[in-house]
Amino acid sequence: MPSLNRKDYRTLGLAALGGTLEFYDFIIYVFFAGAISKLFFPADMPDWLSQTQTFGIFAAGYLARPLGGIVMAHFGDLFGRKRMFMLSILLMAVPTLAIGLLPTYAAIGIWAPLLLLALRVFQGAAIGGEVPGAWVFVSEHVPQRHVGFACGTLTAGLTGGILLGSLVATAVNRAYSPVELLADGWRVPFILGGAFGLVAVWLRQYLHETPVFREMQARQQLAEELPLKTVVREHLPSVVLTMLLTWLLSAAIVVMILMTPTLIQKLFAISAVTALQANSVATLFLSIGCITFGALADRFGAGRVLAAGCVALGASSWLLYRQLSVSPEQIYLLYGLCGFFVGVIGVVPSTAVRLFPPAVRFSGLSFGYNVAYAVFGGLTPVLVSRLLPLDPQIPVHYVVALSAAGVGMGLYLRRRERVIG
């Protein structure tokens, strides 16, 4: 059977590296949520309210994902994957740089959070086209028996953006005192992000259109009507399954990787530097986990691997939050273990990509993934923040519940694989 060649590895490497730089731009905001909540809202606003509104603006990026994703997917299905792959990174770099240069509430009042909100919306639209577009791009470049590994590797690249963000945030927190951070230090990671984005644009010029799309063009098999219309009419069950898988993915990433560094500082009195260092360890193991679980899905089937991985995800998440309350010195080990099992999300993209035919693949995946992420990924930070005073363990309770649902989805996929194969 065909195996990966040098060109495949080059494509994977360039796509994953570009995804790392773009995802850094999207998530660096959350690592500086504390500073942003102080600088972009009135000084006399209660801490819980400014934090909730800060996460609300973060969530706006997720809520904007469907529009950007659907528009880019539409043109990606009709005119080519590579063009949209280039456009998404450019649309991310400019707003990131603009955030780094944005005046604060003290300078322009209410316009500060409004402009911040607008820039997050542009970032959300860009990432809405980037993530499903990247999965489709790499899946159509490699042999079918390696789609799990390819999509897992690309997902590792995207999560590598979180690791890069964590490392930059750690460095900035070490380099600047709290006062200096609030003065201008917080701007540094956003300005760097703009530069990273331009590098990613340059890298992607070396990628080529996918063989699958070129073949559809040659045979005139492109969608004859609006691709999304075909998706909704003929592939609605696949959309629903993609949405459910995305709900699991969003719970794991948003809560355990993006929110946990901030949450454990408040819940367990862990210092910002320690929390960010531990997050770097967790995200490194997350990237390893994405590749591992993606490769395992190629060998043993996505359903079986998803079910087993979700059991481990729920258990390791519960163990992390339980043990930090009594043994915070174990944070690196516990968070690293949890991060690895968050990597079970590496099974999701290869599963979702295979649910749709090539002519509407980008639109189907983008619609299901982005709508679900807008709802579940976007509202999760706000929901968890609001419920935290009532239940300090709400973050892990939420992840454990979705892990249980993931086991059910894995068993369903296992039965579906037996019927198909």
On whether the CB atoms of residues 76 and 169 are closer than 8 A, the answer is no
Lowest mean pLDDT among 69-73, 249-253, 390-394: 69-73
How far apart CA 414 and CA 368 sit, in angstroms, is 21
Query: Which amino acid, one-letter code, is at 402?
Result: L
Q: Which of 46-60, 69-83, 141-155, 201-215 has the highest mean pLDDT?
A: 141-155
Write down the pLDDT at residue 1.
Answer: 41
Reported pTM = 0.82
CATH 1.20.1250.20 fits domain 6-420: yes
Residue 17 predicted with pLDDT over 50: yes
Q: How many CB atoms lie within 10 A of CB 180?
A: 12
**Mean per-residue pLDDT for 391-405?**
92
On whether the CB atoms of residues 376 and 250 are closer than 8 A, the answer is yes
- Which H or E run includes 105? helix 105-108
Mean pLDDT value across the chain: 85
Write down the pLDDT at residue 384.
Answer: 85
321-345 confidence digits (pLDDT tens): 999 988 888 999 999 999 999 999 9
Give phi and psi for 81, each to the nearest 5.
-75, -40
What residue spans define the domains of the chain? 6-420
Residue 381 predicted with pLDDT over 90: no
Closest by alpha carbon to 106, among 51, 195, 45, 170?
A: 45
How far apart CA 159 and CA 20 sit, in angstroms, is 7
Sequence length of the chain is 421
CA dihedral 384, 57, 161, 311 (to 10 degrees): 20
Residue 48 predicted with pLDDT over 70: no
